[in-house]
């Protein structure tokens, strides 16, 4: 008998980076009245011009703010928040403006949105996610949750929650492996059935079927370094224009798989959870591979990797947790009472999977996406300054771009980034294993060094410019001061016949007029030279002579680079 899954529950997580400066510039109707990106998000998403043409927005509904509104002990907010440190609650929980004062805190810099799907169930309808490949294999799952987190730094995390019950383990593994793909890495992948040939989102039930997205992958092309993103993603993110590069994927062609799988004990032999076959199943689930009788990779290598990536505190009950750079896995045997946690209150492991562990994964993925975005931004700024290395031809725009990265990274380090989210051992150990899989500490240290070196380069450039400015002023002072000293010396110390000849013009001779011409030429030449020095080096003196009190608008780094490249071509 083939092993069966009682319950498969997977969140496909898609991290993306919004070019928030470009979006703010393109949508002045929204951000003309707001100073900060986070303040205009609700209005942008609720009143976006392209939303009317989106099948998702038109037939399924638009994204709606989904902040916490109840805080009693039976509410989701209470049960989720109590497991985290107080400072983490203030940072990562969207409690909304109306309720922030009620719980004693300011508004957080994160927004949570959802497309409500509960109303569909009341009408007997369901949202279905389908996939099929070139070899005739296909599967469909029920979409039970569409949720999106947008952070003040422009990073977003889209999560697509799907469920299936009483399916084969083979089908469960195929669903995870295939439905996570958001674009093919080559045409060969499509032809060989290693990536979906077709993806679809449908509304089924109520006597009819409405197709929201039906995409057949035939031809794909790279545009402006951006991959041909699946319509499933672009239609769900209908408020941002992908073709105008208002957002871009942070990772590769795969979404992060956060999954829960419950094995039907009746479909396997006794003590299956303590066998080598159970370990093989865990490896297939952890590394998002399809079914097989042996390990997908060399057995000793796989076992060694799993010793580092699998959490075994509850292995004696058949519960295993696993963490890689592209998956987070919970594997259990059936559903059962967990000590004093009664099954009638809901299966404990699945409850944790949907609540605090889900939030922990979102936070870790936000960290990873932010650090990857910083890697791109520092590389783009370095590219911008590349042709100016060894020179002093640095503009105020360059300074602002570097200063913006420095300020954003400092805010991320001081406000967002915590090495410890919770005090309980199990939650903390889970988070630390995910951090290790994502290499977050290493990435953060590397980027911090890169930004410090970039800042150090600008400091050295400006030290050179300041030194040259001081030298120019010293030379000008020497010329003007020397002339004043000469005229003063002669005027104060020589009189009588000398004064009559040169200063008083008694009698009027060539010496008198020659002295006037020489002094006039010297003064005029000194003033012209002073004006020439200031004008030719106006960039060095402008900020001092004409300090601006206006707040400088932030610029889109990518659009700045494109503009400069166009200017160079001309």
List, for residues 372-388, the tens digit of each pLDDT value. 999 998 888 888 877 76
Give the chain's end-to-end CA distance (angstroms, integer). 70
Alpha helices (runs of H) in 253-324, residue ranges in sequence order: 276-286, 299-309
Question: Given this model, what pLDDT does residue 118 score?
Answer: 78
> For the residues 284-302, what does the mean pLDDT come to?
94
Instruction: Identify the residue with better confidence: 285 or 116.
Output: 285
Question: Given this model, what pLDDT does residue 548 score?
Answer: 54
Question: Given this model, what pLDDT does residue 326 score?
Answer: 96
Comparing CA positions, the residue from 83, 145, 4 lying closest to residue 352 is 83
> For the residues 363-375, what does the mean pLDDT come to?
96
> For the residues 78-92, what does the mean pLDDT come to?
87
**Domain extent listing, the chain:** 67-113, 355-493+537-570
Question: Given this model, what pLDDT does residue 561 score?
Answer: 67
Distance CA 107, CA 101 (A): 8
> For the residues 347-368, what does the mean pLDDT come to?
94
Q: What is the number of other CB atoms lying within 10 angstroms of the CB of residue 112?
A: 20
Q: What is the pLDDT of residues 62-71, one digit of tens each?
A: 899 988 877 7
Asked if pLDDT for residue 20 goes beyond 80, the answer is yes
Q: What is the pLDDT of residues 93-105, one digit of tens each?
A: 888 765 655 555 5
Which of 383-392, 403-412, 524-533 is least confident? 383-392
Q: Give 274's DSSP letter.
A: G
List the beta strands (DSSP E) in 82-192: 110-114, 126-132, 138-151, 155-168
Ranges 184-198, 333-347, 529-543, most confident: 184-198
pLDDT, averaged across the chain = 84
Instruction: Identify the residue with better confidence: 259 or 1.
Output: 259
Instruction: Identify the residue with better confidence: 221 or 420.
Output: 420
Question: What are the structure tokens assigned to 109, written together?
Answer: 């810099």
Comparing CA positions, the residue from 204, 213, 170 lying closest to residue 5 is 170
Asked if pLDDT for residue 404 goes beyond 70, the answer is yes
Question: Given this model, what pLDDT does residue 542 score?
Answer: 64
Cα dist from 344 to 314, 318, 337, 347, 444, whole Å: 21, 20, 9, 8, 44
DSSP 3-state percent helix, strand, coil across the chain (nearest 5): 50, 20, 30
Q: Which residue has the tokens 């041909």?
A: 228
Question: Given this model, what pLDDT does residue 479 score?
Answer: 66
Question: Given this model, what pLDDT does residue 508 score?
Answer: 62
Q: Which residue has the tokens 């009027």?
A: 508
Q: What is the pLDDT of residues 414-450, one digit of tens each?
A: 999 999 998 889 999 999 999 999 999 999 999 999 8
Distance CA 472, CA 6 (A): 80
- Residue 455 phi, psi (nearest 5): -65, -40
Question: Given this model, what pLDDT does residue 32 score?
Answer: 81
Distance CA 309, CA 382 (A): 36
Share of the chain above pLDDT 90, in %: 45
Ranges 22-31, 59-68, 228-237, most confident: 228-237
28 band by pLDDT with thresholds 50, 70 and 90 = confident
Question: Given this model, what pLDDT does residue 493 score?
Answer: 47
569 band by pLDDT with thresholds 50, 70 and 90 = low
Question: Given this model, what pLDDT does residue 510 score?
Answer: 65
- Is residue 37 within 8 A of residue 152, CB to CB? The reply is yes
- Whether the link from the prior residue into 507 is cis, omega within 30° of 0, is yes
Question: Given this model, what pLDDT does residue 488 score?
Answer: 60
């Amino acid at each position: 008998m083939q092993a069966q899954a009682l319950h498969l529950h997977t969140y496909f997580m898609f991290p993306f980076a919004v070019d928030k400066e470009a979006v703010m510039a393109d949508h002045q109707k929204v951000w003309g009245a707001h100073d900060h990106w986070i303040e205009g998000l609700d209005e942008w998403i609720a009143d976006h011009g392209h939303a009317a043409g989106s099948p998702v927005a038109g037939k399924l509904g638009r994204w709606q703010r989904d902040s916490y509104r109840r805080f009693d002990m039976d509410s989701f907010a209470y049960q989720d928040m109590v497991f985290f440190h107080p400072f983490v609650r203030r940072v990562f929980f969207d409690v909304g403006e109306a309720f922030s004062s009620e719980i004693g805190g300011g508004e957080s810099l994160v927004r949570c949105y959802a497309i409500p799907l509960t109303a569909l169930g009341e009408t007997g309808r369901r949202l279905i996610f389908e996939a099929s490949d070139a070899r005739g294999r296909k599967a469909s799952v029920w979409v039970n949750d569409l949720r999106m987190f947008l952070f003040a730094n422009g990073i977003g995390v889209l999560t697509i929650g799907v469920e299936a019950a009483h399916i084969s383990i083979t089908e469960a593994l195929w669903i995870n492996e295939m439905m996570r793909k958001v674009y093919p890495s080559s045409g060969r992948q499509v032809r060989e059935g290693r990536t979906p040939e077709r993806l679809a989102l449908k509304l089924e039930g109520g006597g009819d079927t409405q197709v929201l997205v039906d995409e057949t992958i035939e031809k794909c092309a790279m545009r402006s370094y951006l991959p041909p993103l699946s319509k499933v993603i672009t239609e769900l993110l209908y408020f941002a224009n992908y073709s105008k590069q208002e957002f871009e994927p942070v990772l590769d062609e795969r979404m992060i798989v956060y999954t829960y799988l419950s094995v039907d004990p009746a479909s396997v032999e006794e003590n299956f959870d303590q066998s080598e076959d159970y370990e093989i199943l865990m490896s297939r689930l952890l590394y998002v591979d399809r079914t097989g009788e042996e390990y997908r990779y060399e057995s000793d290598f796989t076992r060694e990797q799993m010793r580092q990536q699998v959490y075994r505190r509850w292995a004696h009950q058949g519960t295993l947790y696993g963490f890689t750079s592209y998956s987070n896995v919970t594997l259990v045997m059936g559903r059962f009472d967990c000590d004093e946690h009664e099954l009638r209150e809901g299966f404990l492991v699945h409850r944790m999977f949907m609540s605090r562990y889900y939030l922990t994964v979102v936070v870790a993925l936000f960290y990873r996406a932010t650090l990857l975005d910083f890697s791109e931004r520092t590389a783009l700024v370095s590219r911008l300054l590349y042709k100016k290395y060894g020179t002093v031809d640095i503009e105020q725009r360059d300074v602002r771009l570097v200063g913006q990265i420095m300020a954003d990274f400092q805010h991320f380090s001081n406000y967002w980034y915590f090495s410890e989210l919770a005090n309980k051992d199990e939650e903390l150990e889970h988070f630390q294993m995910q951090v290790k899989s994502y290499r977050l500490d290493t990435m953060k240290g590397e980027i911090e060094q890169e930004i410090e070196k970039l800042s150090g380069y600008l400091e050295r450039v400006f030290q050179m410019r300041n030194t040259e400015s001081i030298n120019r002023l010293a030379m000008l002072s020497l010329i003007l001061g020397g002339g004043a000293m000469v005229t003063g010396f002669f005027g104060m110390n020589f009189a009588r016949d000398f004064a009559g000849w040169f200063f008083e013009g008694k009698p009027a001779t060539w010496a008198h007029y020659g002295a006037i011409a020489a002094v006039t030429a010297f003064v005029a030449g000194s003033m012209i030279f002073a004006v020439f020095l200031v004008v030719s080096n106006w960039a060095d003196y402008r900020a001092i002579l004409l300090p601006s009190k206006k707040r400088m608008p932030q610029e889109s780094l990518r659009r700045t680079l494109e503009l400069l490249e166009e200017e160079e071509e001309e």
